[in-house]
Structure 1
Amino acid sequence: MSQSLAIAVVGATGTVGENLVQLLEEREFPVSDLHLLASRESVGQSLAFRGKNLRVRAVDDFDFTQVRLVFFAAAEAITCEQAPRALAAGCSLIDLSGALPAEQAPRVVPEANAGVLAGLSAPYQLSSPSSAATALAVALSPLRDLLRLRRINVTACLAVSTLGREGVNELGRQTTQLLNMRPLEPQVFDRQIAFNLLGRVGSSDADGHTSSERRLAAEIREVLGLPDLKVSATCVQAPVFYGDSLSVSLELEEALDLPAVRTALGEAPGVELVEEDDYPTAVGDAVGQDAVYVGRLRSGLTDDAELNLWITSDNARKGSALNAVQLGELLIKHYL
């Protein structure tokens, strides 16, 4: 990457936004000027970047003609409101909120479908999928040519940071209340999350599915390039600050070659394969790391055309911020 660009991060004070800024520095992203933007409530805060403290400004007042690339790590409503302004100014954008339709901003995971970028034109619009879909795509992409998939069944145990800083603070507050024998007063979640598992993330539609489940299913089909693939998704809210964990069962068209699967995953970029007698955890392995951890590979109990595996990754870092930064690196290297 030979050129440097002026860049903006919208939602810079959120958990994903902070990870984005950190990764831009860690990976020596070619930034000439970095503009940190957020809602008016966050104006005046500052974040460290390359030895300086950069102040956060209001996105409503920002002139997007000052930058060429914008990362949207804010709420969906802010993306819907501000993305048209950025595009009108000629900016390319990478959306992490899921607000933009796939027809406008295709979902891309560099390890899985980077070739999508070749069919786009400037100003570029890309979406980084949900953290669970990103982790699943990184783990399954190296198996596409090896396995003939019939169905994916996934139970995604999502960290509370999926809801941002409010989710993190709520788990911490509830934990403190319970440990100090004080009455519990749920605020962000509809019931106790501390020391508990919630069998639904968000509200259900008329068919009983949540938006996070429908999003996960749609995104994994799109990223893997398998639009007719059958996907069953259940999203569970876990009492974990950071790190999504996925229990995945793949139904196959033919008998499983488990050694070949192990070889493919062991050689795959972005994947850390854990030994057969061990298994990865979010807190012990994934949090703060850039890899997607895969373990507990095994065939079905009674079906040799079934592959079961356990996946975990840092939802705020790898599943969100790093994927977006990698997309930005691809844009700058080949297209901007």
Structure 2
Amino acid sequence: MNPAFNIAVVGATGSVGETLVQILEELAFPVATLHLLASLESAGSSVMFAGKKLRVREVDSFDFSQVRLVFFAAGAAVSRSFADKARQAGCAVIDLSGALAGAVPVVPEANAQVLEGLPQPAWITSPSAAAVALAVALAPLKQQLDIERVQVTACVAVSAQGREAVNELARQTAELLNARPLEPQFFDRQVAFNLLPRVGVEDGQGHTVLERRLVSELRVLLGLPSLKISVTCIQVPVFFGDSYSVSVQSRRPVDLPAVLAELDGAASIERVEADDYPTPVGDAVGQDVVYVGRVRQGIDEPEQLNLWLTTDNVRKGAALNAVQVAQLLLKHML
């Protein structure tokens, strides 16, 4: 059994942070003392852990030398402000924002081997929920398919943008169902009963931060630095659970029975049979796997494989992946 040690969770009052704390308890992670941290506005509230209410403290005044591992689940600005401070105090850092230069993205089902020999203290990114889902599904197929290109349409739940976005969808839905005037606040227009073909702000080339992050992280996770990836993120009116339409171009004809066998034997994948399909609400939310369905060859291209993926973006895509990375760190360096 691993010895218990002190841990801090920054962003403990957010949906990802609260889920992360819940998973630490569920997996019996060896925690001696858990320090819950957040901004000044959220400090003073409480979060349940191991049957106790733990008070959330302000991150600005926290002494990181008290802990050996810090999860950053509070967004890019907070990570940039405090992660270096934690590292200088000797803490291993697992960041969920993607904001830390040089941090190594890790998904245990795809590239756990990179943790071997990683310089200490560890400086790790738990990737975007989209990168986690795609890496879990594509890593077992990498050799079988000899992947040349991946095209993704990501249907992103509003929870990817935090509680304020979740509240906005709920409010807009209530306003429309009650025939009241709708006034968008968090989103720039109606998101309820609608699709927005952009998640976040576009750069000069028309791509968003999330789209560029997915491309960069997936190449690293699959160990394919030259992989051609096309991605469009769509904001869908779903509270929790991301879904992905994925098209993979192979350099050779797809052996569909072999692909199905690889998916059936892979960790963290639940394949749905051909006469059915998975959905975020009916299947993925609250679960610890990536659901894969509608697995088929292209209509005109035998080298093309098409997949439908869905997973809980907050639980599997963010919090659980971060804790699973921490479990691996126990074996390698903590």
Distance 1:46 1:132 in 2: 30
Distance 2:272 2:105 in 1: 28
Q: Is the 8 A contact 2:127 2:217 kept in 1?
A: yes
| TM-score, normalisation: structure 2 | 0.99
> Counterpart of 1:307 in 2: which secondary structure?
strand
Instruction: Show the counterpart of 1:67.
Output: 67
Distance 2:5 2:94 in 1: 14
Distance 2:313 2:85 in 1: 28
> Counterpart of 2:229 in 1: which secondary structure?
strand
Q: Deviations over 1:194-215 (max 9, x none)?
A: 0111001112111111111111
Q: Is the 8 A contact 2:92 2:122 kept in 1?
A: yes
Instruction: Show the counterpart of 1:12.
Output: 12
The counterpart of 1:269, out of the listed 267, 270, 277, is 267
Instruction: Show the counterpart of 1:35.
Output: 35
> Counterpart of 2:185 in 1: which secondary structure?
coil
| TM-score, normalisation: structure 1 | 0.98
Instruction: Show the counterpart of 1:298.
Output: 296
Instruction: Show the counterpart of 1:152.
Output: 150
Distance 1:233 1:27 in 2: 34
Q: Verify: 1:113 aligned to 2:118, yes or no.
A: no
Instruction: Show the counterpart of 1:166.
Output: 164
- The size of the alignment, in residue pairs, is 334
The counterpart of 1:181, out of the listed 173, 179, 182, is 179
| Structure 2, gaps ≥5 residues long | none
| Structure 1, gaps ≥5 residues long | none
> Counterpart of 2:244 in 1: which secondary structure?
strand
Instruction: Show the counterpart of 1:319.
Output: 317
Aligned AA (1:325): V
The alpha carbon displacement at 1:119 in A equals: 3.1
Query: Displaced runs of 4+ in structure 1, greater than 4 A?
Result: none
Distance 1:295 1:283 in 2: 15
The alpha carbon displacement at 1:150 in A equals: 1.2
Residue correspondence of structure 1 range 234-245 to structure 2 within 5 A: 234-245=232-243
Distance 2:248 2:75 in 1: 32
> Counterpart of 1:326 in 2: which secondary structure?
helix
The alpha carbon displacement at 1:121 in A equals: 1.6
Instruction: Show the counterpart of 1:328.
Output: 326
Q: RMSD value over aligned CA atoms?
A: 0.7
Residue correspondence of structure 1 range 102-141 to structure 2 within 5 A: 104-141=102-139
Aligned AA (1:98): G
Q: Verify: 1:94 aligned to 2:100, yes or no.
A: no
Q: Deviations over 1:44-67 (max 9, x none)?
A: 110110010001000001010110
The alpha carbon displacement at 1:334 in A equals: 2.4
Instruction: Show the counterpart of 1:289.
Output: 287
Distance 2:112 2:147 in 1: 21
> Counterpart of 1:302 in 2: which secondary structure?
coil
Distance 1:217 1:124 in 2: 23
Distance 2:329 2:290 in 1: 23
The counterpart of 2:277, out of the listed 249, 256, 279, is 279
Q: Verify: 1:233 aligned to 2:231, yes or no.
A: yes
Distance 2:205 2:63 in 1: 43
Distance 2:166 2:331 in 1: 35
Aligned AA (2:129): S
Distance 2:61 2:260 in 1: 52
Instruction: Show the counterpart of 1:25.
Output: 25
Aligned AA (1:262): L
Distance 1:77 1:12 in 2: 15
> Counterpart of 1:111 in 2: which secondary structure?
helix
Aligned AA (1:293): Y
Instruction: Show the counterpart of 1:202.
Output: 200
